[in-house]
Structure formats: C-alpha cells, structure tokens
A and B are shown apart, each in its own frame.
Chain A
Amino acid sequence: MADVPGVVISGNKTRKKKVNHYLIKDRIMSVVFVLVLIGILVASVFLIAFIWAVRSGQFDDSYTPSVRVLFDDHIHKEEITTSTTKAEKKST
C-alpha cells in the first residue's frame, strides 16, 4: 500500500515544482521499486514457511495440538523411578 500515496505525492509535486520533477520521480521510483521487491520477498518467506509446514504434516491434524498445549511437560524418567519407589514404600 505504501506505493499508492507515493504515487499521488509524485503527481502533486510534479505540478508544484517542475524543476525537480525528474529528480524526485527517479528517487520515488527507486524507493517504490525496492519496497515492492522487499514486499514480495517477505511474502515469499511466508509462502515457503507455509509449504514447509504443510509438507511436514502440521496441517494433517488440526485438533490434537490444541489439546496437547494444555498439558504440562512430558513426564521425565527420573520422576517415575522416584515415584514408583515412593509408591512401593506407601504400599508396604
């Protein structure tokens, strides 16, 4: 969208200062050109990220991850061994 006001400004300014017409036009032109290129590059990064996400199967299941985030971290193995010994103590 940045290019739209840029264009209008260039139109207005050409009317007011005819001397600088070519200079300003060239500058704005190059700025817009760079911006457009950056814009499409950023968008491409997102597109590639999307394609990667689809390929790696992140869209295969859209329900389970929503449940998974609510769980605490996975149980670590040390905890289990200590807990089982505790449980054994309790039972004896």
Chain B
Amino acid sequence: MSEESKTTLTCAHCGDDCGKHPVVLNDQAFCCMGCQTVFQLLNTNKLGKYYEISSMPGIKVGNDQIPDDEKYAYLDLDEIRDRLLDFSDSGISKVRFFVPGIHCASCIWLLENLHTLHEGIIRSSVNFPKKEVSITFKNEEITLRKLVELLVSIHYIPEISQQSAEKTRSSKSSRTLLIKVGIAGFSFMNAMLYHFPQYLPGSEQLEIDFRMLFGWLSFFLSLPVLFYCASDYFLSAWKSLQKKIISIDLPIALGLITLFLQSTYEITTQNKIGYFDSLTGLVFFLLIGKWYQGITYEALTFERDYKTYFPVAVTRVSDTGKDTIPLDQLKAGDRILVRNQELIPADSTILRGNASIDYSFVTGESIPVSKNEGDFVFAGGRQVGSAIELLVQKEVEQSYLTQLWNQNNKAEENDQSMSGIVNKVSQYFTLIIISIATGAAIYWKFEDPGKALFAFTSVLIIACPCALALTIPFTFGSTMRQFGRKGFYLKNADVIEKLYRTNTVVFDKTGTITHSQTAHIRFNGDKLNTEQTAMIRSLAYHSTHPLSKIIYNHLQSEESFEVTDFKELPSLGISGKINGTTINLGSKYFVTGEAGGEENLKTQVWVFIKDHVVGYFQFENKYREGLQETITELGNHYTLHLISGDNESERENLLPLFKDEAVLNFNQSPTDKLEYIRRLQEHGQNALMIGDGLNDAGALNESKVGVVIADNIYHFTPACDAILQAGKFSKLDRFIRFSKTSMTIVKLSFLISFLYNFIGISFAVLGSLSPIVAAILMPLSSVSVVAFATFAVRLSASKARL
C-alpha cells in the first residue's frame, strides 16, 4: 500500500503533508486512513465533486479525536432527542447542528447533498455564517444517533452540548428590527415624494386639495413609523426617566413627539403639510444605525456557561450493567465510565484505570496529568487514553469549577455603563436644548406671541439628536468590523468603550502568554547519539503516558528497535530491554534512585541507558511570538499584572518583562484569580483580563473586559467580552490602543453633529424653520456623521497597522 517518496505529498482529502508513509489509493495519496475512508465514501456515492469546488477541502480528524462507537448512544434516549429536535411530527423530524468544521463552499455543497448518502434524509441546508446545518429526516429510516454518526463519518463533527439542547432562537429580534427598517424606509420614501413638490419653486401655486391629499397620506404613513418602528425609543426613554437617568433616547423621543404633534397641528388647522418626511427619515436612519451596530459574529458564542462545555449525557455503571443518563440526572455516589476524549463532568475519584487527564481547557497546560486509582480529579478535564471508571463525589452544579463560573453575573451591573459617553453628553444636551427652547419661547412671547409656540417646537424638532445617536453605532460598529477582520472578535460594540477605559492589563500565564499546544523540550546531559535516540523513541512508543507520547513525537529517528521486558510503573516510569541493554525512562527518583526533584519545578523525564544516567528531558513552556514587544508596548501605557496557576519556575524569565516583582503572582487558584481582579477593581482600576481556560472564567467574568485567547475561535471558550485569535497576540497592544483612536473619532463626530445643531437651532430660534430646512439639515447631518465615522475608522485602522 504505502511507498516512500522523496517529494512531499499532500493529502488529496485535507491537504496536509502526508509525511513519510502516505496511504495510497488509486494513485491518490492520503495522510491517514481517516482521510482515505472519507474520500472513498464520497467517491462511491458520486460526491467526488466535493473535491472540485474547493481544492482539498476535507477536514482531518486525528486518530485520538475519533469518538468511541458508544459515544453517541445517548442520542437514542427519548428525552435528549426531544430536546435536540427543532420539530418532529408524523415521522418527520428537523434538527439543527452547530458544526464548527464548516469552512468552505465544498462543505456547503456536501452537507446540502447529504440525502445522497442516506435515504432517510429529506433535506439539509447550511447557514454558513452561523456554521449551522439543519437537516430534515425520516424517523423510520434514520435515527438521530445514526444521523450524527453519519456526519462524524464524513468528519463534520457536530457540537452537541447542554446549551445546544436548550438554545433559544435569537434570530427573532433581528428579524423584527429588519421589518421595522423596511416599514420606516417605505414610509420615508413615500413621504419624501409627497413633500417634494412643496420644496420646488412655484409650489405656492399648488392646489390646496393636492397639498391636503399629500399631507394626509404622509400623516397616515407616519403612524406605523411612530407607533411601531420607533416604539423602542419611547420605551427606553420612559424606562430611563423612571430610573432618573437622562439618556440619548429622551431627546430623540421628545423630538419625534414634537415633530408629529407640530405636523398634525399644521395639517389640521393651517393647511400646511408639516414635517412628516423628516419624522420618517429620522426613524429610518436611527434604525439603520441600530441594525448596523447589531451585526455581530453569529458563529461565535461569548456567553457560554459550563453547559456548553459539558456533555449532554454520561455513561453510568451499575451492578446490572451500563446505561446512559442525561447529565442533569447525575448524582453524587454514581459510578460513571469516561472514555477516551470524554470530559469528566463532575468532581470525582478514580475507581479503576489509569487516568491521564488533559486539563488544557482548564489551565491552559497542554501536558496531560496522570492520576491513579483513588486520586481525586476535578471536573473539566478530558481523559486521554483508555476508559476509566469514576465515583462521582459532587453533583455537576456543585463542582469546583462550575460553582466558580456561576458565582457572578456581571450582565446587570454593566448595563448602566453602556455607551456611557453618549449618555453623559446627552444629559447636558437635553438640558441645554430644553432651556434654549424655553428661552426662545419666552423671547417671542414678548416680541410676537404668535411665534412663541412655533419657536419652542422648532428647537425641539431640529435639535433631535439623530446624528448624535448615529455616531456610536457607526464608529464602534466599524471599529468592531476592523478588529474582526484582523482576528480580534468583540462580543458587541460596547466593549470598545470598556477597552478605552481600561488602565490595567492582567495576564494569565499558561496558554495565554505561552503556547498551549506546543511544549518546548530540551535535553540536558550527554549528547544523544542516533542509536540512543532510536532506543529512547522505541521505548517511549510502548507507553501511553502523555509525556512518553510527547517524547516519541519530539525525537526523530529512522530506526526502531524491538523492546522486550517492557514494564510500566504507574507514576514512576517505564523500563525495557533493547538487544539486551536496559533502558529506563521516568521520574528522577525512579531513574537515579535519588529522592527529590521538588527543588526543580519543571517537568522532567530522566533517562538511564545500559549502566548510567544519560540525562533528562526538560519540558518548558514556549512563549508566544512577539511577547516581549507586546508587553513592553503595553507596559508603557498600562499597569501590568500576571496571575498564574503554576509554580514559580518561570519567575526569572518573566521578571525582565514585567519589571516589578509585586505584579507577578504564582500558585493562584481560580478563586484567587477572581479575588485578585476584584481587589484591583475595588482600588479603582479598570482591569482587562486576558486568559484562556476555565480556571480564568471567574476572573474573566469579574474584570471589566475579559479577553480570551484561542487557537480555534469556534471551539469552546469561557464566557468573555472578546476573543483574540492566538496568532494575533503580538497585535494586542495595537487593538487596545485603537480603542482610544475610536473614542477620538466619536468626539469629533459629536463636534460635527453639534455644528449642524447650531445651524439648525439658529433657524429655529429665529422662528423661521421651514420644512425644507428641516428636510435638508436632518438627513445631511446624519449622512455626514456616518460617512465621517466610517471613513475615519478605516483610515486610522490602516494607519495603526492593526
């Protein structure tokens, strides 16, 4: 089957390098059996076009990621099935899956042609931005479990979690907003047509019947705009009034009501047509701004709780056998089976099997921790290797990490600070406008009483802060999009203002400033010759211990030897004989016989060959590229802190970067981290926390801005305000500092809109505000503010080299 080739082959399925031993089938090379199987499956089903739409579109699924046969057994449970299905009636069901693997046109094509792979699938359609596939299928011909297994077999692994089972449909509100925009646009365009004749020279000759017809039509058109489209502004203005806050919505609501009343008054008593075009246009522009700000990253989830992370069901072991139960029925005292690549759902002790637990999601540490029978394990780790049996000690909700996660809800306290700058400005703005309006009214009362009321309403109308209200959505919305293009994804536009207020940056160490995936291995001791290297590698091959695996992958050798007398001693090491030569790998105590190793805080694996200790492998964290520049840059403008759950082994390396002994904190538990942030913020600091794992979840929640750094942004991340792509770490300082530029643009836009207001108000105070001035000035101010904000952000983003 396989043949050696000098040139590097790329896998026909996934495009990866095939390595030295490609799998070859019909002249096509594959990097692994998994890829080859999918390729074959698709070709026999005449789905070969998958490979024509995009080149090498396949998804590689490593051997260790392939789920166990029994993994999806829980989908046969009725109550879980019912929770997952969108709809099920008369034998036909519909289900939606989040598939993070969707990445190209080929994916869409294949997933929409799923019916060719199985008779039971009626229809399937992909929502690419959401990375969702919704499938309609016949219950009789394919079960939900079979369906999921089918998707897994073509390497499109759906993410099924507690939350996906409970998710609410959020698209409703965005649809309502779109409908509102549509109605407002419709009314605006028509009202503009009816008002246009009045603005032309010679309009005085227009028949009064026409004018009234147009006037009344505009009046009826404005009704749905005022009462339906703009209802949110009235509601929020009323709500903030009740809380005794003057928000930006108050002058808007005041302006809208005055516009409507003044126009209605003019149309009923003065045979004039009023300002309905300005009214509908205003609402239309405001809603457009709202819609623009609301476009967020649909495939990313920022508000995950532990439910997204934990599985939907677990395998319970009892004397009678195994059964699958939903996670929420798990009780303390239950015995559960955790297979390869499965999560430990609750704090428990190990009953049987050698656990090697990957806590990278929790701590960011990529090297799995090995545990033995009787040891206590925290929830959140992922078992790597053979299945283990656990005795549950605490219920899921009571486990250490989940408790930490649920401790605080910051959603509420932050509501107030939302677009704080606009609200602060609008407080003064509203007061000033009302006093100008009253002043004008009083003046005209003495000069020309007939004009008093008109001047008063004119000021309120023309001062309606449409441009002001549009500034934030467009400036922050464009900033958010610029960030997104460069790999920094914000939860919503308000995060920019919080970024601006940040004055302290707190780092987590493992997985945040160090790489989470690659550990740096160094060999200390005599230089290894090729034979020794081959021997160590051959021995390591036989062990399932994570450190052995890393050593095996790290060392390179052409030869491999046969190992006899292989022994694996739990938590000590491995030993064996190669051609009669003894070779031992393991802890210092095991290999050298000397106790200790505690004084050295780094992970080490010692090597003994034949008759002496050759040396040891040292595992070190590798720092991210550009760490030094980023930290130095940030250090010039912000106070820096480091809180790490690890021991102090890296203190010396980090001290030159952070410069201050006091800000380096090691051996911090997740609760310590949370407390640390809380203390900082009690002392008036606005902290930005950068972390990656579940152990940072509490601190991320507590901080004003929680940033999560992730290698794959679609994979699980703790709840946060922003997600930073791991590769973009070196640009972090530019992102944070760009929030200041954004804020400057906001202030400049405010100036522009005030300028327009000044012009408008001078007309209004003089009592000479005609509909045409309103009709020109109001859209013009909005459009110029929007244009300025958008272009300024673009320009400065390219200048700042984000």
Contacts and interface: CB of A to CB of B under 8 A. Distances in A.
Interface of A: 1, 3-4, 7-8, 10-11, 25, 29, 32-33, 36, 39-40, 43-44, 46-47, 50-51, 54-55, 57, 59-64, 67-68, 70-71, 74-75, 77, 79-80, 83-84, 87
A8 B202 contact: yes
Contact of B128 (A47, A61, A70): A61
A74 B189 CA distance: 41
Given A43-B186, A43-B189, A54-B175, 10 more contacts: A3-B210, A7-B207, A10-B207, A11-B202, A11-B205, A54-B178, A61-B129, A68-B112, A79-B46, A84-B45
Nearest to B43: A87
19 contacts: A3-B197, A4-B197, A7-B206, A36-B217, A39-B190, A51-B182, A54-B175, A55-B175, A55-B179, A59-B178, A60-B174, A61-B128, A61-B130, A64-B127, A67-B105, A74-B115, A75-B113, A77-B115, A87-B43
Contacts of A80: 45-46, 116
Contacts of B206: 7
Interface residues of B, number: 44
Contact of A29 (B108, B127, B186, B207): B207
Nearest to B132: A61
A10 B113 CA distance: 63
A47 B221 CA distance: 13
A-B pairs, 3 with minimum CB distance: A83-B46, A64-B128, A61-B127
Contacts of B92: none
Contact of A40 (B127, B171, B197, B217): B217
Contacts of A7: 197, 205-207, 210
Contacts of A71: 53, 109, 112
Contacts of A77: 115-116, 119
A51 B115 CA distance: 31
Contacts of B47: 75
Contacts of A36: 194, 213-214, 217
B171 A64 contact: no
B413 interface: no
Contacts of B182: 47, 50-51, 54
B185 to A, nearest CB: 9
Contacts of B113: 74-75
B108 A25 contact: no
Interface string B263-290: 0000000000000000000000000000
Contact of A67 (B46, B128, B175): B128
B213 A64 contact: no
A57 B207 contact: no
A87 to B, nearest CB: 5
Contact of B127 (A33, A55, A60): A60
Contact of A25 (B43, B171, B207): B207
Contacts of A50: 179, 182
B508 to A, nearest CB: 35
Contacts of A29: 207, 209-210
A60 B298 CA distance: 10
Residue from A1, A7, A11 with most neighbouring chain B CB atoms (10 Å)? A7
Contact of B116 (A4, A67, A75): A75
B126 interface: yes
B109 A4 contact: no
Contacts of B130: 61
A52 to B, nearest CB: 10
B457 to A, nearest CB: 28
B193 A75 contact: no
A89 B591 CA distance: 60
B44 interface: yes
Contacts of A44: 186
B175 A64 contact: no
A29 B137 CA distance: 60
B200 interface: yes
Nearest to B221: A40
B561 interface: no
Interface in B118-160: 119, 125-130
B196 interface: yes
A64 B116 contact: no
A89 to B, nearest CB: 12
B175 A47 contact: no
A71 B526 CA distance: 61
A50 B179 CA distance: 8
B117 to A, nearest CB: 9
B82 to A, nearest CB: 23
Nearest to B53: A71
B108 A87 contact: no
Contacts of B200: 4
Nearest to A49: B182
B183 interface: yes
A12 B182 CA distance: 39
A29 B208 CA distance: 11
A33 to B, nearest CB: 7
A57 B171 contact: yes
Contacts of B125: 64
A84 B213 CA distance: 70
A4 B183 CA distance: 25
A75 B121 CA distance: 13
B210 A32 contact: yes
B127 A47 contact: no
Contacts of B179: 50-51, 54-55
Nearest to B206: A7
Nearest to B205: A11
A78 to B, nearest CB: 11
B621 to A, nearest CB: 39
A54 B173 CA distance: 11
A47 B183 contact: yes
A33 B213 contact: yes
A79 B47 CA distance: 11
Contact of B171 (A39, A51, A60, A74): A60
A26 to B, nearest CB: 10
Contact of A84 (B46, B183, B197): B46
A54 B350 CA distance: 53
Interface in B89-120: 105, 108-109, 112-113, 115-116, 119
Nearest to A79: B46
Contacts of B53: 71
Nearest to A14: B205
Residue from A57, A59, A67 with most neighbouring chain B CB atoms (10 Å)? A67
Contacts of B105: 67, 70
A64 B125 CA distance: 9
A32 B207 CA distance: 12
A57 B86 CA distance: 15
Contacts of A57: 171, 175
A63 B112 CA distance: 15
A92 B94 CA distance: 39
A63 B128 contact: yes
Contacts of A68: 108, 112
B37 to A, nearest CB: 15
A40 B112 contact: no
Contacts of B116: 75, 77, 80
Nearest to A4: B197
Nearest to A44: B186
Nearest to B107: A67
A83 B205 CA distance: 77
Contacts of B186: 43-44, 46-47
